[in-house]
Every structure is written in C-alpha cells, then in structure tokens.
Amino acid sequence: MEVYLDRIESNCRRTVELCRPLGIEVTAVTKGFCAYPEIAERLVKGGVKSLADSRIDNLKKLKSLDVQKILLRIPMISELDDVISFADIVLISEVKTAEILGRKASQRGVTQRVLVMVDIGDLREGFWPDDIVPAFGQLLKIKGIEVVGLGTNLSCYGGVVPSQENLGVLASFAEQIEKRYGISLDIISGGNSSSMHLVYNEGMPDRINNLRIGEAILLGRETIFGIQRESYYNNTFVLKAEIVEVKEKPSIPIGEIGRDAFGCVPTFEDRGVRKRAIIAVGKQDIHPDTLIPYDKDIIILGGSSDHTILDISDCGEDYQIGDILAFDLTYGGMLGGMTSPYVEKVLIK
C-alpha cells in the first residue's frame, strides 16, 4: 500500500479552505488509516485543529500531536478510564454512560468534555428527537462533564442524505436547548464527508460550525453523489499487488456449485475461455469489491481469503507472473489494507 502524503495534505488543506468562509471548522477523521501518526501529522499540516477517531487505541497513537482529539464512537463503559486519559472530547448518546463518565472524571479531579449526539433520521447513534431536549436537562446536571455541543451523523447506516432541512432540524435543536437551559453550545457538528455537498451548494445552515471529515480528505471523494470535485487527489492510497498465476480457463467452474469459502453460493457469467490472473492479495486484507484497477480493461472476478482473481483477456498489456498491478481503493479497501498487518505500508512524500 503506497500512501501519498503530499496529496492527502493537499486534500485536507482544500477542505479546510472550502469550509473556513462558512465558519465551519474541520475535524479530520483518522480511523480510515488506523491513525498512523505520520499521516495524521500531515492532516495537522493541512490546517486542522482537531483529529477524531472511533477507537481509543488509535487516539493513543496521536498522543504526541498537539491538537484536540475526539473519540467518535460512543464509548463502552469499560473504556471510560481511557476516554478520560486520551480523548479531549467524546461523543455521547446515553445519560447512564455520561453519569459514569462524570463520576470517574470527578474522582480524577478533571472535567471531561462531551458532544451530545442526536439522531435526525439515519438510525445509528444519538438521542431520539423527542428525547434530546429533556436529555440535555439531565446531562447538564452531571458533575465531572462539560457539554460542549450537539452533533449528528448521517448517511452511515441509513444512507440518509444530509440536507438543509435535516441539518436545519439539528440547528433548531441547538437553539431550543440554548434557550431552555440558558447556555451556549460551542460546537454544532453537522456530520461527515456526506455533508460536504452542502458546503459546495451553500446549503449549510448557519449554526453548523463543525464537520468531521474522513473520506473526502483521505480519498478526495464526494461521498453522497459521487461527484468528482476540483483540486482533489483520489490517488492517495494505492495498492500494488503481484501476479502469481496467469492462465486461460473457462468462466464457469466445473462440477456442482455449493458454497464458497465465505459461505455464499457464487454465480458466474459464461464468457467462454478467458485469460485470468491471480494476484497475491485476498479478502483477509482487502475485499475484491473494493479494488479499482488502474488498467480499466481488468475485470475483477472475485476472490478468496488470499487470492484475488482477475479477467485480463481484454487488456492491451501482456501481463506475466511477477508483474505488479496497481489499484485505487474504495473506503473499505483503504480501511482493510491499512488494518491488515500483511499489507506493507509505504509512505511516500
């Protein structure tokens, strides 16, 4: 896996510059690359003042970087001590968790900052709209925590598109809460990369002043409509894999078809005898569906734990064993490759 640091830094700077005029601060999300400090450092160089990750283990790797760190996954009760040690801010959606967190923080003589999540339709984490205002009443009474803001997450589980309307609902909850409890909320966090289209289309409600951005920076992609944005690099994480077999074989397996190695019954399209290549990478590292071949004439047929099978019949190039093929990756591919200890990471300036 080649990781192109200058390109990632440039994507980050571009995102910060697009958001700044709208009064939106960008929190760069590091979970897609397991928070390698050398990569995270480039995000900081690219202009962000805060980094976020879903896992404490990753926040630990960022300890030496002098920026605010946010824990994105609502925490397990069993990890609250580490939350206090390693997260400046943590996302919260349960009063009970906040109570235990507050008690632990108080015992240590510190105050833990929390960002409260509201679910405005995607059905992942967050207080339900009916509950958010009263829940704030309970949260504000808890000693040892400081509520710094309100946030939401969209398009992750339910695929709900962030819009002026649903983020407007988030903003109006912020206003209701401020009025009701006589407080002011510093951070109103309007989602992830999928909210960037509202930055482009000037549809972002005024009150939204933070976005938590991973994919749009790391892979330079507009994630909700798949629009290619100007001045973004997509070739940031590039997988290079070696060919270990090249042979002509029929397109349909011979014999009765049962379940494959992953318990699925495969289907095949009969295209006759085809020239195929096997590369030495598999589902244990990177799922075949997440590979985007540089050679557009390559057809990805599938794979097993350790092999990915390609149809190379239509390629102009006469590929041989030992040749290296390059692939861009989807978010899942980047995540899998960066997580796999079997994939060598090569950081390139």
Ligand X SMILES: *Cc1c(COP(=O)(O)O)cnc(C)c1O
Contact residues: ligand X, CB under 6 A = 29, 31, 54, 72, 153, 192-193, 212-216, 223
Q: Which is nearer to ligand X, 215 or 328 (CB)?
A: 215
Cβ at position 153, least distance to ligand X in Å: 5
Beta strands of the chain (E only): which ranges?
2-4, 25-29, 50-53, 68-71, 89-92, 112-117, 145-151, 187-189, 210-213, 237-250, 273-279, 291-293, 299-303, 308-311, 324-329, 346-348
Cβ at position 70, least distance to ligand X in Å: 9
CA-to-CA distance for 273 and 260, rounded, in angstroms?
21
Q: Which is nearer to ligand X, 71 or 139 (CB)?
A: 71
CA-to-CA distance for 334 and 32, rounded, in angstroms?
7
Asked if residue 68 lies in contact with residue 50, where contact means CB atoms within 8 angstroms, the answer is yes
CA-to-CA distance for 316 and 279, rounded, in angstroms?
18
> Would you call 275 a catalytic residue per the annotation?
no
Question: Among all chains, which residue has been given the structure tokens 């300036």?
Answer: 349
Cβ at position 26, least distance to ligand X in Å: 10
Cβ at position 225, least distance to ligand X in Å: 14
Q: Which of 34, 32, 69 is nearest to 52 (CA)?
A: 69
Cβ at position 184, least distance to ligand X in Å: 23
Cα–Cα separations (whole angstroms), residue 338 to 40, 196, 239, 347: 13, 25, 10, 12
CA-to-CA distance for 308 and 311, rounded, in angstroms?
10
Q: Which is nearer to ligand X, 282 or 336 (CB)?
A: 336
**Mapping DSSP to helix (H, G, I), strand (E, B) and coil, where does residue 158 land?**
coil
Catalytic residue among 31, 69, 104, 283: 31
CA-to-CA distance for 184 and 187, rounded, in angstroms?
9
Q: Which is nearer to ligand X, 72 or 298 (CB)?
A: 72
Q: Which of 4, 3, 19 is nearest to 212 (CA)?
A: 19
349 burial (CB, 10 Å; 0-12 / 13-18 / 19+) is exposed
Q: What amino acid occupies position 191? A: G
Residue nearest to ligand X (CB): 214
CA-to-CA distance for 191 and 156, rounded, in angstroms?
10
Cβ at position 277, least distance to ligand X in Å: 32
Q: How distant is the alpha carbon of residue 279 from its chain centre?
A: 27
Q: Which is nearer to ligand X, 31 or 207 (CB)?
A: 31
Q: Which is nearer to ligand X, 215 or 311 (CB)?
A: 215
Characterize the bridge pairing of strands 25-29 and 299-303: unpaired
Cβ at position 191, least distance to ligand X in Å: 7
Q: Which is nearer to ligand X, 11 or 193 (CB)?
A: 193
Query: What amino acid positions are annotated as catalytic residues?
Result: 31
